[in-house]
Homo-oligomer: A and B are copies of this chain.
Amino acid sequence: MLKAERHKYIMTKLIEDQKVVTTDLALALDLSEDTIRRDLNELDSKKLLEKVYGGAVQVKEKSANVFDIAITAEEQKKQIVSKALSLLHDDQVIIMSGGSTNLVFAKLIPADLKATIYTYSLPIAMQLSQHPNIDLIFIGGKMQKNAMVTIGMDVIQVVSKIKADICFIGASSINIKQGLTEVGYEISIVKKAMIEASDRVVSMFASNKLNTKMPHGVCDLTQLDTIVTELDPEDERLDEYRKSGVFIL
């Protein structure tokens, strides 16, 4: 009996019974339990089933819920963005780009802050729509699906008319020479417009983004007012950035 046949048998059996037991399969297929276990491990690593002690069960369906956004290293991001909370004041006009760091930031904005926030990120807008005192303006346009942000001329047009006190820009990559750079061209354009429209430009990111580069330039370091990472502002990895004149929080 070929391995492929066995795997098929196992998967059929699994659907039938919601589970398979190693010893039963060994008996039914007249093979050693070792082989069955190896099969189960293989199927498990292909995510076709879930190996458990004594056998295997069906993979529980991935919540399939569009609305729960996974944030990697959320704790680290909380640590970063909480430093930036001091930059917020009542009556500011704020622009926020997308990105999970900014999303974490949005969650932590104090409930009593009264401000106007422009954003073009769906998750951030969802988050801020729960905020009692924020005037929230969503910048419409064509959706870029994976990032859940709007892009394109519509966005640029709106952004370029805003007179903002401060903007928070997520960063794909940053380095000394090229400054902020982005994976996508469209996003880079929008961010340029954001910077143009804001008195103060803040970028928050984890230190692993330092000294990396993406294809599309956004701005050089001199155009950034403040950067925020999880590092101590005096950390030597930030030395060169400090020299460039950007304020490090």
User: Footprint of B on A, CB under 8 Å?
Assistant: 2-5, 8, 18-19, 21, 50, 52-55, 57, 65-69, 120, 122-123, 125-131, 135-143, 145, 148, 150, 154, 158
Contacts and interface: CB of A to CB of B under 8 A. Distances in A.
Contacts of A54: 2-3
Contacts of A122: 122, 125-126, 129, 138
B3 A53 contact: yes
A55 B2 CA distance: 7
Given A19-B5, A21-B2, A57-B4, A143 B137 contact: yes
Given A122-B126, A135-B142, 13 more contacts: A2-B52, A2-B57, A4-B50, A66-B130, A67-B68, A67-B126, A122-B125, A122-B129, A129-B143, A129-B148, A131-B145, A136-B145, A138-B150
Nearest to A152: B137
Contacts of A66: 126-127, 129-130
Q: How many copies does the complex hold?
A: 2
10 contacts: A4-B19, A5-B18, A5-B57, A66-B130, A68-B68, A126-B148, A128-B143, A136-B142, A136-B145, A137-B141
Contacts of A52: 2-4
Q: Nearest 7 pairs between A and B by C-beta?
A: A140-B140, A67-B67, A136-B143, A4-B52, A4-B57, A129-B145, A138-B140
A90 to B, nearest CB: 18
A32 to B, nearest CB: 17
A47 to B, nearest CB: 14
A143 B54 CA distance: 52
